[in-house]
Amino acid sequence: MPTSSNVAPNDLSAFWMPFTANRQFKKAPRMFVAAKDMHYTTSDGRQVLDGTAGLWCVNAGHARPKIVEAIANQAAELDYAPAFQMGHPKAFELANRLVDLAPEGLDHVLFTNSGSESVETALKVALAYQKVIGQGSRTRLIGRERGYHGVNFGGISVGGIVTNRKMFGTLLTGVDHLPHTHNLAKNAFSRGEPTHGVDLADELERIVTLHDASTIAAVIVEPVAGSTGVLIPPPGYLQRLRDITKKHGILLIFDEVITGYGRLGTPFGADYFGVVPDIMVTAKGLTNGVIPMGAVMVSKEIHDAFMQGPEHVIEFFHGYTYSGNPIASAAGLATLETYKDEGLLTRGAELAKVWEDALHSLKGLPHVIDIRNIGLVGAIELQPIDGQPTKRAFAAFLKAFEQGLLIRTTGDIIALSPPLIISESQIGEIVSTLSGILKTLE
């Protein structure tokens, strides 16, 4: 049995790695040992430019002093406080700051420890709310094809990624899915929002007709689907979902785990698209990815409904041992301060044009069949063969890692979402590295 002093990076005798080809990793381990600002340091001493903000989360860059200090101070002052029937000031303070930042009308916050938990919390709030207001027959949930809502059972049920669903039994029943908004034939190489597809929102009317509105509790979508390759909706699509849900008494949930905290150049995707959901799911950038934490923001109407029941009853039977954990709350506060001090929540808007032009300069390179961008996130899609995904994007990921650039891939898609502190010359670096790689891909 290896000890911590002799454990090798490719020793997988104990650690079963998440979402990883464990046997392949063993042959070619990729290990980080440090990170600062825009760069990781690998175990063999190389600098790797972070083109993905870790996993779409380190929006302020790595090892930012305010956040590091806040965590250290909080750990020394109050490391843990019970989360149920008791509290501590920083969780209340963070909830207030989040309500200040959230779109008008979202005025209460439930804390969780991850995006997946935020999704489960949002779905449970939606179902319980319908019961609380006497609409208990509304038990159906509607997600979307190619949606990613984490890995717990609610999330994979409303999510639309086949590989994440098919091994795990029947999942939640009473779930339906909208079609995804990705239309390569009509929208390839769109800059920002694509032109075609607003009518896909009308599929919701079809689902409502099929099941009857009285059976549907909520619709959940990512404003921009992230993990399945940065799928951007056409203008008016989200507004149309908002109109249809409102008309039928169905709650609209935005999963903003990626689009939240500045990724699109606005505090939240809801701000970018000018559409306010009833529930907003967040995590990742809330604490700059440094400490696990999520936050679910709900409308005043939802919160008020729960507060109107008999007073001796706990209003919502749900919560986690670590909900609003003091160290996570301190990290969240310091993260929001860092975003504010450095104007990071709108930096994606300032850089959007430079980013867009840089990414689209890759048009015409071998295998590239689409380039998409919005705010400071983007994707390059490569040609599948006979409709089947190839390993080209993953090969590009391996080459990029060797050449000092971190990218993400899903199927034939390369996704990019750098920390919002990225400089224009670093954007140039990402694109020139990728250009070199794309030219040599088989």
The structure tokens listed for 135 are 């609409």
Minimum distance from CB of 375 to ligand PMP (Å)?
15
Minimum distance from CB of 268 to ligand PMP (Å)?
12
Distance CA 271, CA 349 (A): 12
How far out from the chain centre does Cα 288 lie? Answer: 12
Distance CA 257, CA 435 (A): 29
Distance CA 419, CA 203 (A): 35
Q: In this complex, which beta carbon is closest to ligand PMP, that of residue 102 or of residue 362?
A: 102
The structure tokens listed for 223 are 């404003």
Q: In this complex, which beta carbon is closest to ligand PMP, that of residue 270 or of residue 362?
A: 270
Q: In this complex, which beta carbon is closest to ligand PMP, that of residue 116 or of residue 288?
A: 116
Q: In this complex, which beta carbon is closest to ligand PMP, that of residue 266 or of residue 433?
A: 266
Minimum distance from CB of 258 to ligand PMP (Å)?
4
Pairing between β-strand 377-382 and β-strand 39-42 as defined by DSSP bridges: unpaired
Q: In this complex, which beta carbon is closest to ligand PMP, that of residue 43 or of residue 321?
A: 321
Residues that bind ligand PMP (CB under 6 A): 114-116, 119, 148-150, 222, 226-227, 255, 257-258, 283
How far out from the chain centre does Cα 13 lie? Answer: 31
Amino acid at 229: G
Minimum distance from CB of 57 to ligand PMP (Å)?
8
Distance CA 49, CA 37 (A): 9
Pairing between β-strand 47-50 and β-strand 405-406 as defined by DSSP bridges: parallel
For residue 391, give the nearest of 161, 399, 432, 373 by alpha carbon.
399
Minimum distance from CB of 184 to ligand PMP (Å)?
22
Q: In this complex, which beta carbon is closest to ligand PMP, that of residue 227 or of residue 409?
A: 227
Amino acid at 222: E
3-class SS at 410? strand
Minimum distance from CB of 55 to ligand PMP (Å)?
6
Pairing between β-strand 175-178 and β-strand 140-144 as defined by DSSP bridges: parallel
Minimum distance from CB of 60 to ligand PMP (Å)?
17
The structure tokens listed for 392 are 């080209």
Q: In this complex, which beta carbon is closest to ligand PMP, that of residue 115 or of residue 277?
A: 115
Q: In this complex, which beta carbon is closest to ligand PMP, that of residue 219 or of residue 258?
A: 258
Of all residues in this chain, which one has the CB nearest to ligand PMP in the complex? Answer: 115
The structure tokens listed for 269 are 């995707």
Q: In this complex, which beta carbon is closest to ligand PMP, that of residue 111 or of residue 306?
A: 111
With residue 185 as reference, give the H or E element that holds it. Answer: helix 184-187
Q: What angle do CA 205, 209, 211 make, to 5 degrees?
A: 115
With residue 160 as reference, give the H or E element that holds it. Answer: none
Minimum distance from CB of 171 to ligand PMP (Å)?
16
Minimum distance from CB of 305 to ligand PMP (Å)?
25
